[in-house]
Structure 1
Amino acid sequence: MGWINIVSNRFKISGKAKSLVEQWETFPESNSLGMKPGLLALIAGDRSLINRSLALANRSLEFLQERVDEKFLGDPTVLPDLVGLSVLAYINGHEQSELWQRIANTQPFANRTMKALQSVVINLVNDNPSYLNKSPSKLGHVTSVSDWLNRFRKSPTPYLFDLAISPDHPLWSSVLSTFVLPLGILLEKELKKSSDHSVESLDLFRLGAHPQDYGDIIYERQHERPSWDSIPDTQSPETWLGFDAVELCNQELYVYHYLGLSWQAPLLFNDEVNAYQFLDQLDKSWRLVEMSLNPVIWKQVEELVKTKRCVHIVVHDSPRSPCLLPHLERAAKHYDVNLEVRDVTLA
């Protein structure tokens, strides 16, 4: 689920990360940017930006620590950047156990969100992995801060990490982004304790909690998604709807259409309503893929589409946009495609 949020927004994240890292390099002693440049660089997956941001993190962390009085440690304007910068410094090879222990040993913070963030730090200094023992998660994204905190108390780390790393969510800037860095490192630590998994933290931030589950991602969204009812200009590719991602796995293509978290209506297909009208532009969307691939890979994609080894997956927030099976089947028949739906927490 974190994966579809990332790939559908990476083109925007990459540009913002580059701008913020450049600002950070110009004013390395400023704490106004906090952990945001490093976080966005990790999500962008650009090794150059990652290396540049990590090189600045430890120094910024030292400046911040020098200016933080103990009584303000749990302040919502302090703790997120303190924890985030410490994780960036940790990724860059600087041990953080002393700071993390200090945060863990402090009395539980009064602010509920900061108390939850403190609990992640407590788990970072705890040698016992806990996520495997948590109760199952539920479908659909969080709807409020309270919803996030309620799920936080009883959900496994991979699920929480994917909920948090959702740049298109209304709570991203104020709450969710705060948890991404520490949850990512916690997940890496927990996975390394599992004999079945070994995943590097950089892959988690680039592809979400389950990078091993995906094949070769040969295409990601390249520009802002036009409005659903916009009229495409045949001469302007930026006006074409496009796909959010195309995955090549075991000689099968999986094409992802992410409806976004703002879509809150049933997925209907009838004479009056067509929730699948993005499929009207399949020819132009495939053209965008062709423009981004080398000819050899594109030839392979063409053959898989021609031989019906291609599944179109509509990703939706199922509690708020339920899929009605007869409507899905009618849409698949109308557009002559293999069509499936997945909840945003499962994509």
Structure 2
Amino acid sequence: MTERLDISVQTSKVDQVYLKFKHEGVYLDESEGKSMYKISDLTFDLKRYEYFETFHIAGSSRNYAENIGIKITLDDGTYGIGEASPSYRVNGEVVSALMSLQSIIKDMISGLDVREYGKIFKIMDGFSRTAPSVKAAVQYATLDALGNSMGLPVYMLLGGSKSKIETDKTVSIDTLERMVKKAEEFFGEGFNSLKIKVGENLKEDMDKMLAISDATHGSYYVVDANQGYSAKEAIQFAKYLYDHQINVKVFEQPVVWNDIEGLKLVRYNSPIPVAADEGVKTKYDAYQMIKNDCVDFINIKLMKSGLSDALAIIELAKISNVGLMIG
């Protein structure tokens, strides 16, 4: 006599496949687990951060930031979070306008399965020029929700090729004395790489870099002009740094973001590797910079590119032997 069995076993949260054995045979039924990965809610939360001190770069000075916390919730209650850090200076973003996108984006991605995150990424790519920081935050929250469902951090979902990275610390524009003091403080904390903001006064920048170098022997520097120089000034500055044996590894965004010819001129005449930052927002910008031989490095910022374009830029850089930094 054949015994009739009706047994349900949840094998794992990753697959949510239920095995049901019956006397006719064995079959798979995934219907019970299909919805757990689907997006049920998207929320925006306005956040304000007060800086301990003013952050000053070429052409800009700030003492607070307004960010947007983004949360994606799945049908089973699992959630992922991301955060948008909008920039009017770089992206032309206004926080109040971005907040109004919440209901629009929620309608666009509700019901989508985060395991098929490529579909969500493609939808958010439509915001590449209008709301790139929100694009980045939604894409990250999507992967975070998927990772939380699977018990994996996002970096492992992306391949986990590195388990550690080196970071620098930034010295913003100030008086020579205060910049030297900050550089010494950061170097004393163990930061061997320092980013030094310049770009508002060429002669003062030369004096500051020489003083910082004298005070922090053994450190190396990323010098960031944030579009502050003309091409001629940038070349003069780069040659000064080289002639005075200041250990600068990268000269970042020396000229205005859309001056491709100027950036190329600087790169061809600079003894120091040149990076694009504000000039590369999307993978198409990166392609043009690489194609036109303008850069040695590209600074990827997720708030400009989102995850989807950032991943594409990484591959473009790899095949073109262009260096990368993220900041």
Counting helix residues as a fraction of each chain, which structure ranks higher? 1
Higher relative contact order (CA 8 A, sep 6+): 1
Same fold (TM over 0.5): no
TM-score range, shorter chain: 0.3 to 0.5
Length-normalised TM-score, structure 2 = 0.32
Counting strand residues as a fraction of each chain, which structure ranks higher? 2
